[in-house]
Amino acid sequence: MENNIKNKIEEIKSLFVWPDKKPNIVPETNGWFTVASSNVLGMLIQHIDPKIICELGSWTGTGSTRFLLNAAPNAHLLCFDHWSPDVNDHGNGGTTVYEDDDPELLQLPKIWDSFLFNSWEYQDRLTPVRAKTLEGLELTKPYNLPVDLVFIDADHSYEGTYNDIMKCAELWPNSQITGDDFTWETVKAAVIDAAKALNKRVIFCHNCWFLTDQIAFEINF
């Protein structure tokens, strides 16, 4: 990685400082990361060899976060998430009504500390941008980072997914954009509409999707 890019990353890291001590908790670990997603991401990483990766929606840091760090050991990962304990900040744009025993709801009180605990060993290669996705992306925009790969798994509402895709495409037009939960109707509709707006094709395998310019794209699992 070039020195000027390393310097930009260090500047961003200075805005989002890790705490001095690892949280003393029993962390939440549910990440809902599937085999299909790991297969698609693994294929893309092998194809691209990314040096900078952005993940929108990281939750506890045990699913896609840990996979991306391990599968791309030479990359720096920026994680965009508000990690808010407030249920009103979740629910996919107000489209989800939580049951009292919903596992996602039960994880919220210590979601930020769980992420820190689960990601502690990767501090040198991971920067947590604690903000809502669009706000966080705007904060990093002045640094003009050459992002190679974007993984979107944040707000699953139509508007949230569409806006995340379009903002990432605006900031990093040459990056590979991919994401999770294509089986959600709201996500599927947003991905398809964003692809049309960007003149891209959508490739998907079960719940994982990515955008491409190529008419055909071979997937080897």
Is a pLDDT exceeding 50 seen at residue 41?
yes
Average predicted confidence (pLDDT) for the chain:
90
Q: Kindly tell me if the per-residue pLDDT of 214 is higher than 90.
A: no
Ramachandran quadrant class, 199 (left: phi over 0; alpha: psi -120 to 50; beta: rest) = left
- Residue 210 pairs in a beta bridge with 178, 203
More confident residue, 95 or 80: 80
Pick 221 or 76 by higher pLDDT.
76
Between 173 and 215, the higher pLDDT residue: 173
In CATH terms, the superfamily for domain 3-9+35-212 is: Vaccinia Virus protein VP39 (3.40.50.150)
181: left (phi over 0), alpha (psi -120 to 50) or beta: left
Which of 27-41, 86-100, 123-137 has the lowest average pLDDT?
A: 86-100
pTM assigned to the model: 0.91
Residue 221 has pLDDT above 50, yes or no: no
Asked whether the beta carbons of 36 and 207 are under 8 A apart, the reply is yes
Domain boundaries, the chain: 3-9+35-212
Rounded-to-integer distance, Cα 155 and Cα 49, Å: 27
Q: What is the mean pLDDT of residues 63-80?
A: 97
Q: Supply the DSSP string of 19-79, one letter for each residue.
A: PSS---S---------HHHHHHHHHHHHHH--SEEEEE--TTSSSHHHHHHHH-TT-EEEE
pLDDT tens-digit readout, 164-195: 999 999 999 999 999 999 999 999 999 999 99
Asked if 195 and 201 count as a contact pair (C-beta separation under 8 A), the reply is yes
